[in-house]
Amino acid sequence: MEITAEIERRQRTNKLRFYKPYRKQREFHAAGAEKSERLFMAGNQLGKTIAGGAEWAIHLTGRYPDWWEGATFNRAPLLWAGSVTGESTRDNPQRILIGPPAIEEQWGTGFVPQDCIVDRTRAMGVPNLLDSVVVRWGGGGDIQASESIIAFKAYEKGREKWQGPTVDGVWYDEEPPEDIYSEGLTRTNNGQRGQFAQTTFTPLLGISTVVARFIMPAPGDVGALSRHVTSMTIDDAEHYTPEDRAKIIASYPAHEREARAKGIPTLGSGRIFPVTEESITIAPFEIPKHWVQIGGLDFGWDHPFGAAGCAWDRDADVFYVTKTYREREATPIIHSAALKPWGSWLPWSWPHDGLQHDKGSGEQLAKQYKAQGLGMLPERATFEDGTNGVEAGLLDMLQRMQTGRWKVFSTCGEWFEEFRLYHRKDGKVVKERDDVISASRYALMMKRHAKVNKPASDWNFKTQAVA
């Protein structure tokens, strides 16, 4: 009984040691090694705040686990953590880090181990809210143990309360106003590692300025390359059974289900495809030999290059997106090398900007991909009547979705990421993060040129030279 009690005590007071992150949580942590700003956008009760708290505890203690692939500090850091109000800061980041706020005897049962808590200072005005905690930091090896500090903040106190000293990192738990986010990020401008911030929330405020900063950066925003988004849906939460997921989703109001269960920003009537993800998702299967297939390309450099492999069941008139590819700032050689394994026989549909001449070589983009071995169709993507309107293509896609004639393999993660955020503003399509979706639209427009899968020798693309 004494041994059992001691094991239980050690587990309660050293929770960090037993942290086993889900796949999405690991992705979030690992991105910190290269990205200075990270967003964990997830539904409710899926583990985003747990991930944020565990990471902050790892930095505060210097106890980096063997599986850790994220950022590291070689000295004791000064970190901030904040939420909307003093109460929410106490009940979420403070609770996750230190333990139940109302039971002082249990402080030390959060992710910061009890034996690492050196001192703490209470805040004024909110019961059981801490202002700061001093944590014993020991980086291991020859690094001498020292003390790190975690200070707690609240958005409601205003921007002025987020001014002050230079810190090593800021954790925003729940979505902050733009001015708070900017001020906190400014505090991390230091020589140790540059800006370092993590944000964890469920996007109930829709496409706010902070959300747009990550998922729809403005043209020319050089900082976009230093940001990372981890999206997590209820399907990624390993602690729920299928029955649990169904009950939880059904418990949410219909207009909040996608935000609370899938971490999708609330878009309301602005969504371009107002259909459920489940209605168009299908498990991957082997494409029947008599079905025709086609690929679609969306050229890009600053915004990603996108590609979609598609199959068309002509008998039932059902169009399937079976494969996707998305990459930014890579040359035609790189993209083509990634796509040629899909099949040298596969015809590729491409948009009007494929006729543009590359500034370096002076050669048309479409011809460059042709030269790399892709079976580029001879003409840019158009409908049978010769038109190429975006709205007509989107309407065709939507009608197919609504009638069960548009399906997407569940393995096409990039396509679904864009689907969840594809929306209009002031009636116009927002042309951001739509690369793979656009590629699938070009493929749909040119489905009349789709081919059955035959050996490469059966097709003579030399007779289909790009105009």
Please check the confidence at residue 460 and state whether its pLDDT lies above 50: no
Each residue's pLDDT tens digit, 131-187 = 999 999 985 444 456 899 999 999 998 888 898 889 999 999 999 999 999 999 999
Q: How confident is the model at residue 235 (pLDDT cuts 50, 70, 90)?
A: confident
Q: How confident is the model at residue 237 (pLDDT cuts 50, 70, 90)?
A: confident
Give the residue, 456 or 189, on which the prediction is more confident: 189
User: Where would I find the H helices in 409-465?
Assistant: 413-421, 435-445
pLDDT at residue 464, as a whole number: 42
Please check the confidence at residue 35 and state whether its pLDDT lies above 60: yes
Give the CA distances from residue 413 to residues 47, 232, 326, 424, in Å, rounded to whole numbers and listed in that order. 20, 11, 10, 22
Q: What is the mean pLDDT of the chain?
A: 88
Each residue's pLDDT tens digit, 244-284 = 988 998 888 776 777 888 887 766 556 788 888 889 999 99
Beta strands in 215-291 (DSSP E): 227-232, 281-282
pLDDT at residue 266, as a whole number: 65
Please check the confidence at residue 44 and state whether its pLDDT lies above 90: no
- The mean pLDDT of 414-429, rounded to a whole number, is 84
List % helix, strand, coil for the chain (3-state, nearest 5): 40, 20, 40
Q: What is the DSSP letter of 160?
A: G
Please check the confidence at residue 466 and state whether its pLDDT lies above 90: no
Domains plus CATH for the chain?
Answer: 12-266 (3.40.50.300), 277-464 (3.30.420.280)
Please check the confidence at residue 325 and state whether its pLDDT lies above 90: yes
Closest CA to 240 of 248, 252, 232, 251: 248
pLDDT at residue 336, as a whole number: 95
The C-alpha atoms of residue 411 and residue 35 are separated, in whole angstroms, by 25
Computed from CA positions of residues 185, 187, 191, 192, in that sequence, does the dihedral angle turn out positive or negative? negative
Closest CA to 430 of 270, 268, 202: 270
Give the residue, 132 or 240, on which the prediction is more confident: 132
116 three-state secondary structure: helix
Has this prediction a pTM greater than 0.75? Answer: no
pLDDT at residue 210, as a whole number: 87
Residue 386, judged by CB atoms within 10 A of its CB (0-12, 13-18, 19+), counts as: exposed
Please check the confidence at residue 379 and state whether its pLDDT lies above 70: yes
Each residue's pLDDT tens digit, 335-378 = 999 999 999 999 999 999 877 766 556 688 899 999 999 999 99
The number of angstroms, rounded, from the C-alpha of 62 to the middle of its chain's C-alpha atoms is: 27
Please check the confidence at residue 212 and state whether its pLDDT lies above 90: no
Among 122-136, 144-158, 193-207, 401-415, the least confident range: 193-207
The C-alpha atoms of residue 148 and residue 154 are separated, in whole angstroms, by 20
pLDDT at residue 23, as a whole number: 93
Active-site residue numbers?
A: 174
Please check the confidence at residue 461 and state whether its pLDDT lies above 50: no
Residue 292, token pair as written in the block: 């025709």
